[in-house]
Structure 1
Amino acid sequence: MLKISNSVTIAESEIEFSAIRAMGAGGQNVNKVSSAIHLRFDIQQSSLPDFYKQRLLSFSDSRINKDGVIIIKAQSFRTQEQNKQDALERLLQLIKAATVVHKVRKATKPTKSSQRKRIDAKKKKGSVKNLRGKVSF
């Protein structure tokens, strides 16, 4: 059971895991042991609420393919269990990142007094720089 929020969870049966051989250096063990994990999660077939599904499908991430399946490959650790936990954690982070609603920024105008203060500060700075010039007699 993967807990996303207080009311939203994903059952383990909706997540498909497959063990594969990890890439890269690892000595003799790398060719014998399938320690890397391929996680597949079908967004359309999941029990997630529609809001989560829509946000995930519209989220631009290379781990979500055009069929709406999230594919995560975890091979950072030496054991299958650690890689499985890593893949689940990354799935959780992806779902949470996709469902964050950003606050819409409203364009505002600076106040008259703030504009006046800014111009006065610029004039003062300019006059100070002018006084640093050559002194003529």
Structure 2
Amino acid sequence: MTRLIAVQESEVEVSAIRAQGAGGQNVNKVSSAIHLRFDIPVSSLPDDVKERLLALHDNRITRDGVLVLKAQQHRTQDMNRMDAFARLHELVASVATPPRIRKPTKPTYGAKQRRLQTKGQRSEIKASRGRVTE
């Protein structure tokens, strides 16, 4: 069961910046990269989703709980904006479902017997490695 959680666009701060790296005149003149900031603690996400997002050990999440994404893969600002939002939704969707709680299990009777049998065999092998006396 996957929960669909929508991120409100009004909660996201988007700014256009100049991209880094190679690209010549286009990179130097056009602000086509997108800097997306999403404040997790004040967002309208459910509390359990917020906790799991903040618990992620992700370098893109600041100490204040602000998720910072930078999209500069595409040539146009619109494509980079779509890419940044897609990555944000993907990250939120990855923590939307709570992790399953592990049910502790016990080894079966047969497994215990096999373990004891191999321990006995191993013990006999090691006991026979001693000094030979006649």
TM-score, with length taken from structure 2: 0.73
Partner residue in 1 for 2:22: 25
Is the aligned partner of 1:61 residue 2:54?
no
- Specify the SS of the correspondent of 2:51: helix
Q: Deviations over 1:63-86 (max 9, x none)?
A: 110011110000111111111111
1:39 partner SS: strand
Flag structure 1 segments of 5+ consecutive residues without an equivalent: 124-137
2:81 maps to 1:84: yes
- Determine helix, strand or coil for the equivalent of 2:98: coil
Identity of aligned residues (%): 54
Tell me how far apart the structure 2 counterparts of residues 103 and 49 of structure 1 sit (CA, whole Å). 18
Amino acid at match of 1:74: A
Once the two structures are TM-superposed, the CA of residue 109 in structure 1 deviates from its matched residue by 3.7
Amino acid aligned to 1:91? L
Correspondence for 1:96 among 93, 96, 118: 93
Q: Deviations over 1:37-58 (max 9, x none)?
A: 0000111221222222222222
Q: Which whole-Å CA distance do the structure 2 matches of 1:51 and 1:115 have between them?
A: 40
Contact 2:71 2:80 in 1 (8 A): yes
Higher relative CO (Cα under 8 Å, sequence separation at least 6) belongs to: 2
Contact 1:59 1:98 in 2 (8 A): no
Give 5+ residue unaligned stretches, structure 2. Answer: 122-134
Considering only aligned residues, what root-mean-square deviation do their CA atoms show, in Å?
A: 2.2
Matched, 1:106 2:108: no
Taking the aligned partners of 1:51 and 1:110, their CA distance within structure 2 comes to: 34
